[in-house]
Amino acid sequence: MSEPTRVLHPFPPLYDERSEALILGSFPSVKSRENMFFYGHPQNRFWKLLALLCGEEVPVTTEEKTDLVLSRHLALWDTIRSCTITGSSDSSVRDVVPNDLSVIIDNSRVSRVFCNGALSYNMYMKYSFPATGIRAVKLPSTSPANAAYSLERLAKAWEIILPPS
């Protein structure tokens, strides 16, 4: 069992000036911190889900993942800048310092916010919503710990992230 450790978020947000919807995680897993990119654990279904929703192949490289996100006018970031955490366990998160989302909001077209799971949503509503004023939608987590949701069930819930056609 690993010990609680104070960790600083190690990589920057993913967005550009065309991003319209922001998807927020809580804090990167150990694997994501090692890979220095979002949703790095092979069992996390985020990339499979996004590919399914967009009708694309599942991206493998960081470049392919970046292209998929930006081509759909999405942005990725996490609600937590630093915290004390044991491994990758959301339930162990303590001593939270939130990320400043203004850098994304002020430099993009983001007007919709989606939270990947309950911790992300709770942190957003506590720390970020008062500053952004943008109501967030809580979506079921893509984490492998959320075994109650199949990929198909996640897709039904998550289709809301895509712009209306």
Distance of CA 141 to the CA centre of its chain: 9
Q: Is it the case that residue 90 has pLDDT exceeding 90?
A: no
- Each residue of 92-109: pLDDT tens digit? 999 999 999 999 999 999
Q: Tell me if 32 is assigned to some domain.
A: yes
Q: Tell me if 87 is assigned to some domain.
A: yes
- Each residue of 115-135: pLDDT tens digit? 999 999 999 999 999 999 999
Gap between the Cα atoms of 14 and 47, Å rounded? 14
**Domain hosting residue 49, numbered range:** 17-159
Gap between the Cα atoms of 91 and 131, Å rounded? 25
* Residue 88: band (very low, low, confident or very high) from pLDDT cuts 50, 70, 90: confident
Structural domains of the chain, count: 1
pTM for this prediction: 0.96
Q: 80 forms bridges with which residues in the sheet?
A: 98
Q: Tell me if 58 is assigned to some domain.
A: yes
Mean pLDDT, the chain, whole residue set:
95
Residue 10: CB atoms within 10 Å: 12
* Residue 89: band (very low, low, confident or very high) from pLDDT cuts 50, 70, 90: confident
More confident residue, 8 or 1: 8
Question: Domain holding 62: CATH number?
Answer: 3.40.470.10
- The 10 Å CB-count burial string (b at 16+, else e) for 93-127 is beebebbebeebbeebebebbbbbbebbbbbbeeb
